[in-house]
Amino acid sequence: MNHDERFVFIAEWYDPNASLFRRYELLFYPGDGSVEMHDVKNHRTFLKRTKYDDLHLEDLFIGNKVNVFSRQLVLIDYGDQYTARQLGSRKEKTLALIKPDAVSKAGEIIEMINKTGFTITKLKMMMLSRKEAMDFHVDHQSRPFLNELIQFITSGPVIAMEVLREDAVCEWKRLLGPANSGMARTDAPESLRALFGTDGIRNAVHGPDSFASAAR
């Protein structure tokens, strides 16, 4: 095996002291099982190439959480084209959320999720706090409907799931359909929002817009 072959991922680590996410390049060398890390913001080496037996090639896919010397990293994207080409068809994880208006239809929604190639690896029914709801909808912070959306999403229980499949983020967005359920019924009539949603707020299900949002 070529000991210089390497796979590069963009990873995030939540720094509890600074209350922010720090971003790194994580390099994995499958030939000898060594790892290397670079601080993206400060353009410096964070960890020199070091053999590390607790990380394996099968652990490396978008959305997964890996521990490197006791630091939990979330893999949010590929770091170069070679890694994307070689590992891009591997499985990814993403978040799937059933909103309060569709919890009563959870059985039908979960059946559709399973039939479309996803594997549900975690599932939890919960009530979201306002802060949790804001974190889930970080991509909508500047939207005029944000307050209505947060009020709705915290009005009843939701079902949060971690789902796994190849190209999970894109495939989950495809299964969701357009954000407005009325538009979904026209443009994607077999989508979850078309079948179970009402409008642009009460649209049954939610999914992150990007690898980074999914990983968080």
140 is catalytic: no
DSSP assignment of 82-127, as one string? HHHHHHTTSEEEEEEEE-GGGGGGHHHHHHHHHHTT-EEEEEEEEP
Contacts of 5 (CB under 8 A, 6+ apart): 29, 30, 31
Query: Which one of the listed residues 43, 56, 137, 206 is annotated catalytic?
Result: 206
Three-class secondary structure of residue 123 per DSSP: strand
Question: Contact 72/64 with Cβ under 8 angstroms?
Answer: no
Show which residues are catalytic: 206
